[in-house]
Amino acid sequence: MTEAKTRRAAAPLLLLIALLLAATTARAQKPAQPDAAQTQAALRTLSVAGSVLYVAAHPDDENTALLAYLARGRGVRTAYLSLTRGDGGQNILGSEKGALLGLVRTQELLAARRVDGAEQFFTRAIDFGFTRSPEETFRFWGHDAALSDVVRVVRLFRPDVIIARFPTTGEGGHGQHTASAVLAGEAFDAAADPARFPEQLKEGLRPWRAKRLVWNVFNFRSADPPKDAERVLSVDVGGYDPLLGRSYTEIAAESRTKHMSQAQGTPERRGPAPNYFAHLKGEPATRDLFDGVDLTWRRYAGGETVAPLLEEAARKFDPARPQAVLPQLLASYREMEKVSRRDEAGRVPLVEAKREALRGVILACAGLWVEATAAEPYVVPGGEVKVTTTLVNRSDFPVRLETVGASSAGVDLPRRAGPRTLQSPAAGARRRARGARGTDAARHAPLRRSR
């Protein structure tokens, strides 16, 4: 197929993507428009097909330097599973305690993830206050209920590597810390066992075995390696990213500072930041956390068609003309969907996450402005609200508007706009759709919270 044909075929898809993205990220702020360096950094991570899950007990337990290094530096899909929402902690900002404080700290975690690039999961476990004992912790949480939630996240996310923040020995101090390590170890095995929590399999989840489980060894108070450093894996997470203009430890400090209710602001650090990992389960690693894991698209059936398209896009990316790589990006978007469909479950979580990220890169490369504003800030179920959607094509790439709609956030927006070509580059197009209808879908909040 010639490039011109590819471009024509691709154009309608382009705008449908834009609209779905707009629907899922609508909030009362100006849409973020990444610059060319951020777009190039995002493009780089699309080529990496690996994932890692970090497990601890509370908001602020997570190692944000490691999360930033993994998500931004290595480009692997990265998530933090905080077993609780920190309901039992202190609040230096306001009077919220208990569940209300849990809400505050949930938002602080989500804000931190938007900075360091990782995703966020929780379980139903409640932070009931300090205890030294994992046994007491399980009396409050219910061991099997908590384990079931951790197993569910592992089966949902399918991490290549699981990292526990704390050891099972009690050195983590808080009994909930120790319990998080116990659960990470038990979930490593239980997630792979179809006999454990079979009700999850009936819901469409599948057993999953990570390649390995490691402990992110403490090294808080010393610049020196831990005493048994020769037996643990060492990874420097202090690298500098010229595209972002920051090192991962600088990003980490900004992420950490989002834990405002706990006064967790920390100064930015630069230079080497060695982290240490002790082997716990699975195949031991000797050189890298992802030893033996294929981090390329070739790990998936059909992925061999995705890899060269993304590689070509990365090679040809021109910051002054990012739209020039849209044909490769649109083609890889379609190929990713085929890869996901080939999986026996009909979808691969990592592939779906990469497709979502690719949608953002496509929008950024096209310079498309997509914005939806509502006349009223809220709508009750069954009510109506007028929504005005503004679309501006600011590149010379041909774009056709197929439809205007929304399929998430509990909003059912009638699709009223007909096909129309968006003029480029100077002229914009403005489409208006009325009558968004509130539904009760938002009540069924999923366990996973996107970043």
Q: What is the contact surface with Zn ion in residues (CB under 5 A)?
A: 57-58, 61
CB of 96 to Zn ion, least distance (A): 18
Question: Is 220:65 a contact under the CB 8 Å cutoff?
Answer: no
CB of 84 to Zn ion, least distance (A): 9
The set of residues, in sequence order, having a beta carbon less than 8 Å from that of 306 and lying 6+ positions away, is: 297, 300, 332, 335, 336, 339
Q: What residue type is 219 in one-letter code?
A: N
Cα 192 to Cα 200, 342, 440: the distances in Å are 12, 21, 35
Q: What residue type is 431 in one-letter code?
A: R
End-to-end CA distance of the chain: give it in Å, rounded: 38
| DSSP string over 349-384 | HHHHHHHHHHHHHHHHHHT-EEEEEESSS---BT-E
Specify the residue, 25 or 131, whose C-beta has the smaller distance to Zn ion. 131
3-state secondary structure of 241: strand
CB of 88 to Zn ion, least distance (A): 10
119 phi, psi to nearest 5 deg:
-105, 170
CB of 60 to Zn ion, least distance (A): 6
Specify the residue, 65 or 191, whose C-beta has the smaller distance to Zn ion. 65
Specify the residue, 58 or 354, whose C-beta has the smaller distance to Zn ion. 58
CB of 161 to Zn ion, least distance (A): 22
Specify the residue, 184 or 293, whose C-beta has the smaller distance to Zn ion. 184
Judge if the upstream peptide bond of residue 377 is cis by omega within 30 degrees of 0.
no
3-state secondary structure of 199: helix
| Distance (Å, whole) CA 285 – CA 163 | 13
Specify the residue, 25 or 264, whose C-beta has the smaller distance to Zn ion. 264
Nearest residue to the partner Zn ion, using Cβ: 58
Specify the residue, 61 or 250, whose C-beta has the smaller distance to Zn ion. 61
Partners of 246 in the beta sheet? 241
| Distance (Å, whole) CA 44 – CA 106 | 29
Specify the residue, 47 or 180, whose C-beta has the smaller distance to Zn ion. 180
Closest C-alpha among 67, 147, 17, 138 to residue 451: 67
CB of 422 to Zn ion, least distance (A): 50
CB of 159 to Zn ion, least distance (A): 21
CB of 222 to Zn ion, least distance (A): 20
Specify the residue, 66 or 365, whose C-beta has the smaller distance to Zn ion. 66
